[in-house]
Amino acid sequence: MSVLLALRHTYKDEKGIEHDTIVSPVELEKGSNDFFISKAGNDLPANADANGAYNIARKGLWLLKKLDEVDDEKNAIKKFNELKYAKEVTKKNKGKDEESVEGKKPKKVSQWIPNKEWLKFAQERNNKK
């Protein structure tokens, strides 16, 4: 499974020169059967470090979008605390009842994002640039 989900791939060409490429296991658009491959010559990052920086910036866009959805600072903090709580519930429960951590109060704001929500955001056309 780890080979299937590996993002970074290294190979040697005919001349023995080693190349690092990124091959994403996630479709660019749902149902497209089209995956990002860095050696395909497009304008997206071509190495793992640049890809990490690119997605950190995209996560910042997601955070700004979430802040735009709330009316005031108090509601913004509440929204991010709800996301933090969702992360804690997921981590602690792993197959248990959600009630097992019910009532636990998150202590600080987090920029954690659920995988499904990030995937949806990342695949939306208007969030790509």
pLDDT digits (tens, 9 = 90+) for 48-58: 667 777 778 88
pTM over 0.85: no
Question: C-alpha angle with apex 15: 10 to 16, nearest 5 degrees?
Answer: 40
For 96, the token pair is 């248990």
* pLDDT (tens digit per residue) in 7-51: 677 778 899 988 777 777 777 777 887 776 766 555 655 566 677
Structural domain boundaries, residue 71: 2-127
Give the pLDDT confidence score for residue 109 in this predicted structure.
46
Residue 57 one-letter amino acid: A
User: Distance from CA of residue 30 to its chain's centroid?
Assistant: 15
The answer to whether the beta carbons of residues 101 and 107 sit under 8 Å apart is no
**Cα–Cα distance measured from residue 64 to residue 91, given in angstroms and rounded to the nearest whole number:** 25
Rounded percentage of the chain residues whose pLDDT exceeds 90: 1
Q: Reduced to 3 states, what is the DSSP secondary structure of residue 87?
A: helix
* CA gap 15, 20 in Å, rounded: 15
Count how many domains the chain has: 1
